[in-house]
Amino acid sequence: MTEPSLMTSPTPTASGVALLSAVFPTLADALDYAATGDSGFNYYDGRGSLIAVLPYRELRARALEMARHLAPLGRGQRLALVAHTHPDFAVMFYACQYAGLVPVPLPAAVHLGGREAYSRHLRQLMSDCQAVAAFAPPEFVGFLREASAGLPLTLAGTAEEFLALPAAAVLPVRPLPSELAYLQYTSGSTRFPRGTMITQSAVMANLKAIFNHGFCLTPADRFCSWLPYYHDMGLVGIVLGCVATQRSVDYLPTRDFAMRPRLWLKLMSMNRSTISFSPPFGYTLCARRLRPADTEELDLSAWRVAGIGAEMIHPESLQEFAAAVASAGFDDRAFLPCYGMAECSLAVSFAPLERGAHTDVVDMERLAFDGEAQAVPAGNTAIKGKAFIDCGHPLPGFELEIRDDLGQPLPERRCGRIHLRGTSIMSGYFGNAEASREVLSADGWLDTGDIGYQADGSLYITGRAKDLMIIMGRNMWPQDLEYLAEQQPEVRPTDASAFSIPDEDDEEIAVLVVQCRESEPHKLMKLTERLQQAIHAEFGIHCLIELVPPHTLPRTSSGKLSRSTARKDFLERRSLEVQADPRGGRTADAPRHHPVAERAAS
């Protein structure tokens, strides 16, 4: 067997990227351009070995051939694709572009909830998008067949099986810019995932803005990614973006990154990659797993864009990562915070390049009680401040307004719901007109469901509207409590979930559920006490603390915490406890991993 030959990014002519002159009306046209160069996708395994390459010219040839077999399924029909980090996913996705079908990336994350839950989730998504057929690479085809049993699908199988379908004599006319490019399911952190309908023109406009204005692509840029293909940052920002800009990208499967996060940095170092993105937890995970000896073997000096998005960003976690890899040549000015969502194709705003993660420190009390983001003067220690990350100005093509609960625009430094309008906004949620009307106005404004404020034109995100907790008349964000938990040595990143529940007097009280691998009762009690003290010292509130075993907290397909489900599960556990012991005590056989602390004393 011939060893794979690494794909590298060529040095383009002139400005380098045809996308900058907006000559690509569709994703198929973008691949036509990419196929004229020598770049492509490189696939690595969990040992860091190159196992496959897919040059864009080969991707195009294979996609065109596959498109002939997909075309008879029907123009505009949905084809479900289990989005594992595998060359066949890219082939199937772009075959849909040439055949006029609408690809629907589905999660490839069996470990989230186990086999049964995963199969059930796949089935729900395939039913929701009314798929006519479904694809999975060999590693996942068993799950797909189990999930699709009884559904009216022409085929649920591998790429090889799709090639056995009857082929059209000629390909249909390519999709118009106004037609759908794909359906992108939201993460489902607050509700069942919804399929955002993204047109060809919407995604192409967003890609143009990202690569031209977001981080100003250069001829020398090379990407590296472990992001899942079913997440908007991984699909649009990397898979589609690298094709449209004719750039090579090195892929590490998401699961392998989670198990060995150092591999990400190893690939960055080995291939001199310049651009890579991650949610904040990815940087935190790396920082905590790195040993001093690891950084001695790394050279991260080429890394010029270290993008951060998809979650609330805590400045401290970025500082921890920067300190851990400083000796490897990482420059913290490479940090590039951004804001976006699947409903906007991908990106809405980017912070300025080469400035790092800039923060705005605001009066914590004024923000909590009045919704005013009043800046704390530098050096003023009398006012308790909270730092928020600058996510930059909106990209070209977007209008942005911060609105109050009545829908009226707010001035700068007033916190409210973020509304957007622009060329990259979704057409709506597939098959759900009611949900679409909830967030999309008749004149094209999208209610993002996010809360934030603007200062000097820059956007600052403070949280999700549905996650907001109002404790004793004060606005509080679950991420703040979760971050305090993650600072404890027993708690890993993303292993805490905060929300509020009503007490006996219908007043809201805070709850913090924490996954913990510790089992000794004395140590568990000490952790509970530390958390209570830290929360009371920081916020002056009481909080119920529940310690649970690993893998208890519910997550979305993209790995995000689902606070709404965590809240539901917590209430169900409490209800069972009360039924078992109406006096409020715990049953004799209750797991000792689950101590629920009473309210902390003032």
pLDDT, tens only, 467-489: 777 776 666 778 778 888 888 88
pLDDT band of 2, cuts 50, 70, 90:
very low
Model pLDDT, residue 7:
63
Model pLDDT, residue 16:
42
Residue type, 279: P
Model pLDDT, residue 599:
28
Whole-structure pTM value? 0.81
Q: Cβ of 287: how many Cβ atoms within 10 Å?
A: 19
pLDDT in tens, 499-554: 888 777 667 788 889 988 877 888 888 888 888 888 887 777 788 888 888 888 88
Lowest mean pLDDT among 1-5, 238-242, 386-390: 1-5
For residue 388, give both structure tokens. Answer: 């928020």
pLDDT band of 259, cuts 50, 70, 90:
confident
State yes or no: pLDDT of 409 exceeds 50. yes
Bridge partner residues of 308 (DSSP): 278, 337
Model pLDDT, residue 12:
45
Q: What is the CA radius of gyration of the chain?
A: 24
Q: DSSP secondary-structure letter at 555?
A: B
pLDDT in tens, 217-255: 888 899 999 999 998 899 999 999 999 999 999 999 988
pLDDT band of 148, cuts 50, 70, 90:
very high
Tell which wins on pLDDT, 500 or 85.
85
pLDDT in tens, 418-438: 999 999 999 999 999 999 999
Model pLDDT, residue 191:
57
Place of tokens 């797993």: 289
pLDDT band of 393, cuts 50, 70, 90:
very high
Distance CA 304, CA 267 (A): 15
Query: Is residue 195 within a helix (H) or strand (E), and if so which, with residue range?
Result: strand 195-199
Q: Is 566 left (phi over 0), alpha (psi -120 to 50) or beta?
A: alpha
Residue type, 573: R
Model pLDDT, residue 571:
81
Task: Output the average pLDDT for the chain.
Answer: 85
State yes or no: pLDDT of 581 exceeds 70. no
For the chain, percent of residues with pLDDT exceeding 70: 88
pLDDT in tens, 188-221: 544 577 899 999 999 999 999 999 888 888 888 9
For the chain, percent of residues with pLDDT exceeding 90: 52
Residue 462: φ, ψ to 5°: -110, -15
Total H helices, total E strands in the chain: 19, 26
Model pLDDT, residue 506:
64
Bridge partner residues of 105 (DSSP): 81
CA-nearest of 496, 488, 592, 578 to 545 is: 496
